[in-house]
Amino acid sequence: MDELIKALTAKVGIDAAVAEKAVGSILEFLKREAPPEPFGQLVAHIPGAEAAISANEGGGFSMMGGGLMALGSKLMGMGLGMGEIQSIARKLFKYGREKIGSDAMDQIIAGTPGLSQFT
C-alpha cells in the first residue's frame, strides 16, 4: 500500500493521508460491488489493503444510497475534485494490473457497475 500511496501523492499531488483514505474507500466500494474472485486476488496482492478497507467500512455509503455516486460523494467530501478522483482510480487500476494482471483487473472493472468510466 505504501508504494501505491507514494505514487499517488507524487502523481496526483494530494496528501498521503487523503490518498490512503481515498484508496481505502475505493477498495471498500469494490469489496461490495466487484466480482469476489478477482477482487480477492487484488486485495491479496496489496499489502495493507485489508486494513485500509476495514478503516473505511461503514463510511456512510448506506446513508448516501450506495453505488458509484455514493463513492464519488464520499471522495469529494475528502476535498477531492473529479480530476483527482479519476487520477486516483486510474493509478489504482494500473497498479492492480501490475499486481494481478490485466485479465483479472478487467474483470473487476467490467463487473462493477459504472466503473469503466474511470479507466
For residue 81, is it left (φ>0), alpha (ψ between -120 and 50) or beta?
Answer: beta
- What is the residue whose three cell numbers read 466487484? 34
Q: What's the pLDDT band for 115 if we cut at 50, 70, 90?
A: confident
**In the predicted model, what is the mean pLDDT of the chain?**
90
CA 56 remoteness from chain centre: 11
Give the model's pLDDT for residue 116. 81
CA 28 – CA 77 distance, rounded (Å): 16
- Domain residue limits, the chain: 2-118
Q: Residues near 83 by Cβ (< 8 Å), separated by ≥ 6?
A: none
CA 100 remoteness from chain centre: 15
**Which cell goes with 36?**
469476489
Q: What is the mean pLDDT of residues 12-40?
A: 95
pLDDT confidence of residue 92: 94
Q: Are 14 and 20 in contact (CB under 8 A)?
A: no
Residue 109's pLDDT is what?
94
Residues 6 or more apart whose Cβ sits within 8 Å of residue 77:
none
Per DSSP, which regions of 20-112 are E strands? none
Convert the pLDDT of each residue in 52-90 to its tens digit: 999 987 655 544 556 888 899 999 999 999 999 999 999
**Fold type of domain 2-118:** Globin-like (1.10.490)
